[in-house]
Amino acid sequence: MRYVITEYDEQERARLSALAEITDPYTFYQLDRLGLSPDWHCLEVGAGIGTVSLWLAERLDKGGDVLCTDLQTTFIDEIDHPRITTERLDITEPPTHTERFDLVVVRSVYHHVPDRELALRHLGAMLRPGGHLLMIEPDVHPIFSDPHPVWRRAWQAYFQWAGRKGIDPYTGQRAPNQLADFGLRVVSVEGETRLFNGAAGDNPARDLYRQTLHIILPELVAKGFLPQADSDEIDALLDRPGAWLMSPCFIATHAVKPAVAG
Ligand SMILES: C[S@@+](CC[C@H](N)C(=O)[O-])C[C@H]1O[C@@H](n2cnc3c(N)ncnc32)[C@H](O)[C@@H]1O
Ligand 1 centroid distance, CA of 119 (Å): 12
**Does the beta carbon of 113 sit less than 6 angstroms from any atom of ligand 1?**
yes
The CATH number of domain 10-256 is 3.40.50.150: yes
Mean pLDDT of 219-236: 96
Q: How far is CA 17 from the centre of its chain?
A: 12
d(CA 194, CA 22): 9
98-124 pLDDT, tens digit per residue, is 999 999 999 999 999 999 999 999 999
| Beta carbons of 198 and 240 less than 8 angstroms apart | yes
Q: What is the pTM of this model?
A: 0.95
**Does the beta carbon of 47 sit less than 6 angstroms from any atom of ligand 1?**
yes
**Does the beta carbon of 71 sit less than 6 angstroms from any atom of ligand 1?**
yes
d(CA 42, CA 45): 10
Write down the pLDDT at residue 111. Answer: 95
Write down the pLDDT at residue 66. Answer: 98
How confident is residue 7, by pLDDT bands cut at 50, 70 and 90?
A: confident
Angle, alpha carbons 48-51-57 (nearest 5°) = 125
Q: Is the pLDDT of residue 45 over 50?
A: yes
205-218 pLDDT, tens digit per residue, is 999 999 999 999 99
Please report, rounded to a whole number, the percentage of residues in the chain having pLDDT higher than 90.
Answer: 93
Q: Which atom of ligand 1 is nearest to the CA of 16?
A: 9
Mutational test site, ligand 1, from 28, 75, 106, 109, max ligand atoms within 8 Å of CB: 109
80-102 pLDDT, tens digit per residue, is 999 999 999 999 999 999 999 99
